[in-house]
């Protein structure tokens, strides 16, 4: 089976193109191939599939074998894949996702290669039960969350997948490995949650580190950056447009006041193509 290794700001994926549907044993393939010692190594396994509603359909399986509804970094990789290989005409691509419907993607290119990609990530979901959390409220903003050893305050946002944003003094040096797993599996989140730790530097710049549901600490999370911007606006900490600085680099996020949609701009890159046994 041919695969292509790609990444968005170091959030890395094994990309498969040419299949008609997601294989039944995709969970087992993700566990095996994403393993960094016994496999290829990646945060997730991404299938680019045919779609009846869009140019392509994306399915993403986390490195622990669970399927995610959406992935911001992977959608930029998918757009670059189909654009650079000439599988779409023009600089606009539509990609169907499991959790966020059909998303429109605009490509900024040089010499026929996508350099940056802007994705219309849709409208954030703020209703507590729909994120989902166990809290029945129109918004879940700055709410206490307790673990055995510590308490934090969080804001819940779904970008098609669930996020919990927590403000800390120093996100860059935050102890992700201790608190990430406890919060990911906290009983407030029936489908588990992606956890973002953020420090606001000024109204247009935020440092953020992420513990991803099903993948652990990753170098970047596109949906997490979008959720962080939305949360920062709801908490009165930033303007509606900001640079979200992740370990692997920056994403530029805008939450449009008119259409209530979130727009994400950032790069995507090829690493190599190889063959793997199925």
Is there binding between residue 42 and ligand LBFN2T5F (CB under 6 A)? no
State the minimum distance, in angstroms, from the CB of residue 67 to ligand LBFN2T5F. 8
Q: Tell the burial category of 203 from Cβ atoms under 10 Å away from its Cβ (0-12, 13-18, 19+).
A: middle
Is there binding between residue 245 and ligand LBFN2T5F (CB under 6 A)? no
If you write DSSP's letter for every residue of 84-133 in order, what string do you get? HTT-S-SSEEEEEETTTEEEEEEEEEETTEEEEEEEE--PPB--TTTTT-
Determine if the peptide bond prior to 211 is cis (ω within 30°). no
- Considering 34, 71, 77, 164, which one is annotated as catalytic? 71
State the minimum distance, in angstroms, from the CB of residue 75 to ligand LBFN2T5F. 8
71 is catalytic: yes
Contacts with ligand LBFN2T5F by CB under 6 A: the residue count is: 17
Is there binding between residue 158 and ligand LBFN2T5F (CB under 6 A)? no
Q: Please choose, out of 104-112, 148-156, 216-224, 230-238, the segment that lies near ligand LBFN2T5F by the rule CB under 6 A.
A: 216-224
Is there binding between residue 62 and ligand LBFN2T5F (CB under 6 A)? yes
Angle at Cα 59 formed by Cα 53 and Cα 65, nearest 5°? Answer: 160
Per-residue burial over 132-142, b = 16 or more CB atoms within 10 Å of its CB, e = otherwise = bbeeeeeebbe
Q: Is 173 annotated as a binding residue?
A: no
C-alpha to C-alpha distance for 118 and 263, rounded to whole angstroms: 7
Is there binding between residue 73 and ligand LBFN2T5F (CB under 6 A)? yes
CA 235 to each of CA 209, 222, 250: distance values in angstroms, whole numbers, following the listed order:
18, 20, 21
Q: Please choose, out of 21-29, 69-77, 137-145, 236-244, the segment that lies near ligand LBFN2T5F by the rule CB under 6 A.
A: 69-77
User: What is the contact mask toward ligand LBFN2T5F in residues 170 to 209, using x (rule: CB under 6 A)?
Assistant: ------------------------x---------------
Q: Is 11 annotated as a binding residue?
A: yes
DSSP 24: T
Beta bridge partners of 134: none
Per-residue burial over 99-108, b = 16 or more CB atoms within 10 Å of its CB, e = otherwise = bbeebbbbbe
Q: Is 73 annotated as a binding residue?
A: yes
Annotated binding-site residue numbers for substrate: 11, 62, 72-73, 161, 194, 212-213, 222-223
Q: Give contact residues for ligand LBFN2T5F (rule: CB under 6 A).
A: 11, 62, 68, 71-73, 161, 194, 212-215, 218, 221-224
Active site residues: 71, 221
């Amino acid at each position: 089976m041919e695969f292509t290794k790609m990444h968005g700001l170091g959030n890395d994926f094994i990309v498969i193109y040419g299949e008609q549907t997601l294989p039944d044993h995709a969970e087992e393939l993700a566990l095996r191939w994403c393993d960094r010692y016994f496999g290829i190594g990646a945060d997730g396994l991404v299938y680019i599939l045919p779609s009846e509603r869009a140019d392509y359909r994306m399915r993403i399986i986390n490195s622990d074998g669970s399927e995610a509804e959406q992935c911001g970094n992977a959608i930029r990789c998918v757009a670059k894949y189909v654009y650079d290989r000439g599988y779409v005409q023009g600089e606009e691509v539509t990609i169907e996702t499991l959790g966020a419907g059909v998303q429109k993607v605009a490509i900024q290119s040089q010499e026929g290669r996508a350099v940056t990609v802007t994705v219309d990530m849709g409208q954030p979901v703020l209703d507590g039960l729909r994120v989902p959390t166990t809290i029945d409220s129109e918004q879940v903003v700055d709410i206490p969350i307790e673990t055995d050893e510590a308490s934090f305050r969080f804001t819940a946002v779904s970008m098609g997948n669930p996020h919990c944003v927590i403000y800390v003094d120093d996100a860059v040096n935050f102890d992700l490995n201790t608190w990430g797993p406890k919060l990911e599996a906290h009983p407030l989140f029936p489908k588990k949650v992606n956890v973002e730790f953020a420090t606001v530097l000024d109204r247009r710049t935020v440092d953020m580190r992420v513990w991803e549901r099903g993948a652990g600490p990753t170098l970047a999370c596109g949906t997490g950056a979008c959720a962080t911007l939305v949360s920062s606006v709801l908490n009165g900490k930033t303007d509606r447009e900001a640079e979200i600085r992740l370990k692997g680099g920056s994403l530029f996020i805008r939450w449009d006041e008119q259409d209530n949609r979130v727009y994400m701009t950032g790069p995507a890159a090829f690493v190599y193509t190889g063959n793997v046994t199925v």
